[in-house]
Structure 1
Amino acid sequence: MRSYAIGDIHGHLSLLQEIHGRIAADRARTGDDEAPVVHIGDLVDRGPDSRGVVEYLRQGIEQGENWVVLKGNHDRMFAGFLRDPAHQDPGLRGDLSWLHPRLGGGPTLESYGVAHAADRPVAIVHREAVALVPAEHVAFIEALPAVYRRDEALFVHAGIRPGVPLAEQIEDDLVWIREPFLSDPRDHGMLVVHGHTAIDAVTHYGNRLNLDSGAAYGGPLSAVVIEGRSVWQLGPEGRRPIA
């Protein structure tokens, strides 16, 4: 059973469109128009066109594309800010806010027309954001699922709490966790496909597969095709096996 998956996008619409082109080319080679494309979360923040990314994915799904879009911690913080300017995500350090330059909320709001979002009073920025972010985008982001399972793969933004049954996993972990997930060598009963923790290149660790190749920091956006637990990265020339 084949699935495609794409790592953390972080507002890079042009990279996303390029990656979808690679997936289309692989579909043409295999004759498979049915396999879903799973987007691993973090649609927004840091990059130049978060609005464009959200609209591209929203429209694609509305038009019948077999796409799955998962919720990342940055997507959750965006939605939380729109609901309440004082919102503090429980996974975020208390001395930071979504509009802090390290988080990249400012560029997201700027893509919607809210200028200098990180440099003005939060109440004013929030009022403008509520007026300028389309209701369809808010509804789309708030409705994103945190997990998707298919065949031998479990797709999630950040990871899982090791040793906890899937039905008992909480969203805070699914969108935020690093340790003890990253260092746990145990088989989780399925291949956990995730992003969230930026690394230099897509890496298969045996029990998990990290797709976050650092698009948020100037790195590439990566996509893979998964068949069972076998994985190939999709490059300009086609498939390359991931060990």
Structure 2
Amino acid sequence: MARTFVIGDIHGAYHALRQCLARADFDFENDHLVSLGDVCDGWPETRQCIDELLKIRNLTYILGNHDLWTRQWIETGYIDRAWFSQGGEATIKSYPDGVPVKHLELLKNARHYYRADNKLFVHAGINTQLPLEEQGPNIFLWDRNLARIALELYMKEIQGKLSTFDEIYIGHTPIPFAKPIKSCEVWMMDTGAGWSGVLSIMNLETKEIFCSDAVPSLYPGVEGRSKKAG
């Protein structure tokens, strides 16, 4: 039976991506993967990460802020200073022979959010006081308010309801834990793969979680994103 998985921010960590898929026994032909974005920037293998994702027949790709930066560079050649210092340099170096058309197509066709069975998947978060149709990329790709509230409630061991969705899955904001956490209906999936943490993938039906090794151990001598990154 086909399964659906969700994965957090990959940030160029191809070895971690491979570990997660292998440990989850992911079926590239039948299973469905929802990527929460920020596959680009940080560790040195953005190209390999995207190549791997393109092998998945049933892939839903959510646009992250780093993916948007990367797409803008591919389309225009412009190198944003903030992007370059926050992982963009590694992405550029991963494409010594140019960017394949299919890679640009993946980024251009990425969704701002994905809804299924009253579950919402979005890179950064949403404004729970507004309909999704009245929001835009500044919120979906950048806003940390939902993540901040969810993390505060989790630390205070307070549970409740923050939205009309049954479940919300977000990346973007790294959490200080080795596995994703659930606060109210919000699953925080960014376990710091772009920094010193791990990459996490989760089976949506069973909530079973599979994690990579600590990413720096997979790239000895290589630094991840700048400490200013987001």
What's the TM-score once normalised by structure 1's chain length? 0.73
Matched, 1:14 2:15: yes
Residue 38 of structure 1 is matched in structure 2 by 34
State the Cα deviation string for residues 33-66 of structure 1 (Å, max 9, x = none). 85521111001101110011112112x14xxx22
Runs (5+) with no aligned partner, structure 1: 28-32, 89-95, 114-130, 237-243
- 1:209 and 1:70 map into 2 onto residues whose CA distance is 15
Contact 2:169 2:186 in 1 (8 A): yes
For residue 56 of structure 1, give the secondary structure of its aligned residue in structure 2: helix
- 1:181 and 1:166 map into 2 onto residues whose CA distance is 17
Provide closer, same or farther for how the CA distance between residues 203 and 180 of structure 1 changes in structure 2, counting only shifts above 3 A.
Answer: closer
What's the TM-score once normalised by structure 2's chain length? 0.77
- 2:141 and 2:149 map into 1 onto residues whose CA distance is 17
Contact 2:121 2:169 in 1 (8 A): yes
Provide closer, same or farther for how the CA distance between residues 57 and 108 of structure 1 changes in structure 2, counting only shifts above 3 A.
Answer: same
- 2:187 and 2:204 map into 1 onto residues whose CA distance is 10
- 2:147 and 2:21 map into 1 onto residues whose CA distance is 29
Among candidates 73, 76, 93, match of residue 110 of structure 1: 93
Residue 52 of structure 1 is matched in structure 2 by 48
Among candidates 76, 79, 82, match of residue 97 of structure 1: 82
How many equivalent pairs are there? 198
Residues 159-174 of structure 1 correspond to what in structure 2 (within 5 A)? 159-174=125-140
Matched, 1:76 2:85: no
Rg comparison, structure with higher value: 1
- 1:86 and 1:234 map into 2 onto residues whose CA distance is 37
Residue 66 of structure 1 is matched in structure 2 by 58
Residue 208 of structure 1 is matched in structure 2 by 186
For residue 164 of structure 1, give the secondary structure of its aligned residue in structure 2: coil
Give the CA deviation at 1:173. Answer: 0.8
Give the CA deviation at 1:213. Answer: 0.4
For residue 104 of structure 2, give the secondary structure of its aligned residue in structure 1: helix
For residue 231 of structure 1, give the secondary structure of its aligned residue in structure 2: coil
- 1:172 and 1:86 map into 2 onto residues whose CA distance is 20
Give the CA deviation at 1:84. Answer: 3.0
- 2:141 and 2:82 map into 1 onto residues whose CA distance is 17
Give the CA deviation at 1:160. Answer: 0.7
For residue 194 of structure 2, give the secondary structure of its aligned residue in structure 1: helix
Q: Percent identity?
A: 29
- 1:213 and 1:173 map into 2 onto residues whose CA distance is 21
Give the CA deviation at 1:76. Answer: 0.3
Provide closer, same or farther for how the CA distance between residues 111 and 235 of structure 1 changes in structure 2, counting only shifts above 3 A.
Answer: closer
Among candidates 188, 191, 195, match of residue 163 of structure 2: 188
Contact 1:70 1:145 in 2 (8 A): yes
Provide closer, same or farther for how the CA distance between residues 235 and 110 of structure 1 changes in structure 2, counting only shifts above 3 A.
Answer: closer
- 2:4 and 2:140 map into 1 onto residues whose CA distance is 20
Residue 119 of structure 1 is matched in structure 2 by none
Matched, 1:226 2:226: no
Give the CA deviation at 1:3. Answer: 2.9
For residue 223 of structure 1, give the secondary structure of its aligned residue in structure 2: strand
For residue 104 of structure 1, give the secondary structure of its aligned residue in structure 2: helix
Residue 113 of structure 2 is matched in structure 1 by 147
Residue 30 of structure 1 is matched in structure 2 by none
Residue 175 of structure 2 is matched in structure 1 by 199
For residue 182 of structure 1, give the secondary structure of its aligned residue in structure 2: helix
Contact 1:71 1:141 in 2 (8 A): yes
Deviates more, 1:174-183 or 1:215-224: 174-183
- 2:211 and 2:108 map into 1 onto residues whose CA distance is 32
